[in-house]
């Protein structure tokens, strides 16, 4: 399932090594090169946008649900969920935290769980209204991760049709289970948080990637997912990263196991270098500096200290 080899290049008489990895399940490769500063670790001041209230600070101005939802928006003490005015699917909503700015290390399990609580209330509602087969809870934290607004918010996408990723894991569900088993047997297995098993993938989709496989179903697992996300995001904060993506993938009919992926993105900076270049966007290959085995070791040590 996993293959790797080293290619050598001569640069001004010096040998440079490129580790190429291939993951047979995903049919994806990645390349691991020496440390050259691909990941931005420097932090710039962005107080200017932190201090500016935004549309998510004014819930009265946001889009409202129609009568079929029985309420204009979903709300609890920490978050509110409303329709996405630019929907990505038949059901597409935004769940904003109530605070305009939250640092990565401040995302405690309790506030993440409160956000996920509204996301699942919304998913339950759309399941009543329609034949929904797939749902995802997604998170772009800060602009380098794709957020258009600084104010932290997750997004639910629910539809009868899967995304490309979901279709792959649903169609090859047996191989996907084998793939998960292989990852868990490896040195990249991090450990368990409740019923969630965490690992770093052999061929990651992005920097510092961590995958969590949940043994329960979505509606009864958000407390444990929130605990795992608190641990991962706080680890990201500890290694100086302030932008990340999270995706929780759910199949209503259990066509694939409930799981999530988290990656860091470039730190927020004015003239930043994007982490997706021609290799990532046009060759479907990720370039990394840090081996997934090192990420696993680092987060294991970090979690031990907590
Ligand atoms: Zn705001």
Q: How far is the CA of 52 from the centre of ligand 1 (A)?
A: 7
Q: How far is the CA of 149 from the centre of ligand 1 (A)?
A: 8
Q: Does the pLDDT of residue 36 top 90, yes or no?
A: no
Q: Does the pLDDT of residue 35 top 80, yes or no?
A: no
Q: How far is the CA of 54 from the centre of ligand 1 (A)?
A: 4
The string of pLDDT tens digits covering residues 43-93 is: 999 999 999 999 999 999 999 999 999 999 999 999 999 999 999 999 999
Provide the residues around ligand 1 (an ion) whose CB is within 5 A.
54, 56-57, 100, 151
Q: How far is the CA of 97 from the centre of ligand 1 (A)?
A: 9
Q: For 47-275+290-305, CATH number? A: 3.30.428.10
Residues 6+ positions from 218 with CB-CB distance below 8 Å:
120, 123, 135, 248, 250, 258
Q: How far is the CA of 65 from the centre of ligand 1 (A)?
A: 20
Q: How many CB atoms are located within 10 Å of the residue 135 CB?
A: 25
Mean pLDDT of 243-247: 98
Q: How far is the CA of 61 from the centre of ligand 1 (A)?
A: 12
3-state secondary structure labels for all residues of the chain? CEEEEEEEEEECCEEEEEEEEEECCCCEEEEECCCCCCCCCCCCCCHHHHCCCCHHHCHHHCCCCCHHHCCCCEECCCEEEEECCCCCCCEEEEEEECCCCCCHHHCCHHHHHHHHHHHHHHHHHHHHHCCCCEEEEEEEECHHHCCCCCCCEEEEEEECCCCHHHHHHHHCHHHHHHHHHHHHHCCCEEEEECCEEEECCCCCCCEEEEEEEECCCHHHHHHHHHHHHHHHHHHHHHCCCCCEEEEEEEECCCCCCCEEEEEECCCCCCCCCCCCCHHHHHCCEEEECCCHHHHHHHHHHHHHHC
Q: How far is the CA of 229 from the centre of ligand 1 (A)?
A: 22
Q: How far is the CA of 247 from the centre of ligand 1 (A)?
A: 22
Mean pLDDT of 292-306: 95
Q: How far is the CA of 227 from the centre of ligand 1 (A)?
A: 25
Confidence band (pLDDT; 50, 70, 90) for 227? very high
Q: How far is the CA of 108 from the centre of ligand 1 (A)?
A: 19
The string of pLDDT tens digits covering residues 154-199 is: 999 999 999 999 999 999 999 999 999 999 999 999 999 999 999 9
Report domain extents, the chain. 47-275+290-305
Q: How far is the CA of 25 from the centre of ligand 1 (A)?
A: 41
| Rounded Cα distance, 41 and 267, in Å | 6
């Amino acid at each position: 399932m996993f293959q790797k080899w080293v290619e050598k290049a001569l640069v001004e008489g010096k040998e440079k090594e490129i580790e190429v990895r291939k993951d047979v399940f995903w049919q994806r490769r990645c390349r691991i090169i020496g440390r050259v500063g691909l990941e931005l670790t420097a932090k710039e001041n962005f107080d200017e946008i932190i201090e500016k209230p935004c549309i998510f600070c004014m819930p009265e101005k946001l889009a409202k649900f129609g009568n079929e939802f029985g309420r204009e928006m979903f709300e609890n003490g920490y978050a509110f969920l409303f329709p996405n005015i630019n929907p990505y699917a038949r059901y597409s909503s935004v769940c904003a935290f109530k605070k305009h700015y939250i640092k990565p290390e401040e995302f405690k399990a309790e506030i993440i769980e409160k956000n996920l609580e509204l996301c699942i209330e919304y998913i339950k509602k759309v399941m009543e209204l329609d034949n929904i087969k797939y749902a995802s809870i997604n998170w772009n934290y800060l602009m380098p991760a794709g957020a258009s607004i600084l104010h932290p918010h997750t997004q639910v996408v629910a539809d009868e049709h899967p995304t490309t990723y979901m279709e792959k894991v649903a169609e090859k569900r047996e191989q996907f289970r084998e793939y998960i088993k292989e990852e868990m047997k490896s040195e990249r297995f991090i450990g368990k948080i409740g019923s969630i098993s965490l690992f770093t993938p052999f061929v990651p989709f992005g920097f510092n990637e961590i995958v969590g496989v949940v043994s329960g179903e979505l509606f009864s697992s958000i407390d444990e997912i929130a605990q795992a996300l608190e641990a991962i995001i706080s680890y990201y904060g500890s290694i100086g990263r302030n932008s990340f993506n999270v995706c929780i993938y759910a199949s209503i009919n259990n066509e694939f196991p409930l799981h999530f992926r988290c990656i860091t993105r470039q730190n927020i900076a004015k003239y930043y270098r994007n982490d997706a270049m021609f290799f990532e966007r046009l060759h479907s290959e990720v370039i990394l500096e840090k081996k997934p085995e090192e990420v696993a070791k680092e987060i294991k040590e970090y979690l031990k200290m907590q």
